[in-house]
Amino acid sequence: MDITVQELKNKLAAEDGFVLIDVREPYEHEEFNVGGNLVPLGDIPNRLGELEDFKDHEIIVYCRSGKRSANAQAFLQQNGFQNVHNLTGGMLAWEEAFGRTR
């Protein structure tokens, strides 16, 4: 299941309990992010143990355009994570809608 940038913005504003994961590279995260925990896509398999604590939580993954986060979403779902959402359009869609503001 996917989530739109407006839905994510609303969840962030409401401080709705969820886990936000940025699957981009560190330089992308440093350039601009919306507050997600940085877990680059290539690191997810090795860091699955860290993420196990969030298996029963809502997780939202994002990247630049939504493609890497779609891969992360599929991987997490294959590993038993039930409630994983991909941010449609990623940070490109966020910037188009809201600029570089959180």
pLDDT digits over 37-90, tens only? 999 999 999 999 999 999 999 999 999 999 999 999 999 999 999 999 999 999
Q: Tell me whether residue 63 is one of the annotated catalytic residues.
A: yes
Model confidence, pTM: 0.96
Question: d(Cα 34, Cα 53) in Å, to the nearest integer?
Answer: 22
**pLDDT-derived band at 101, boundaries 50, 70, 90:** confident
Do residues 81 and 55 make contact, with C-beta atoms less than 8 angstroms apart? Answer: yes
Distance of CA 38 to the CA centre of its chain: 9
Give the whole-angstrom CA distance, residue 2 versus residue 86: 5
Q: Say which of 20, 34, 63, 93 is annotated catalytic.
A: 63
Give all domains of the chain, ordered by start, each with its CATH number. Answer: 2-98 (3.40.250.10)
Q: Shortest CA distance to 33 belongs to which of 2, 69, 58, 1?
A: 69
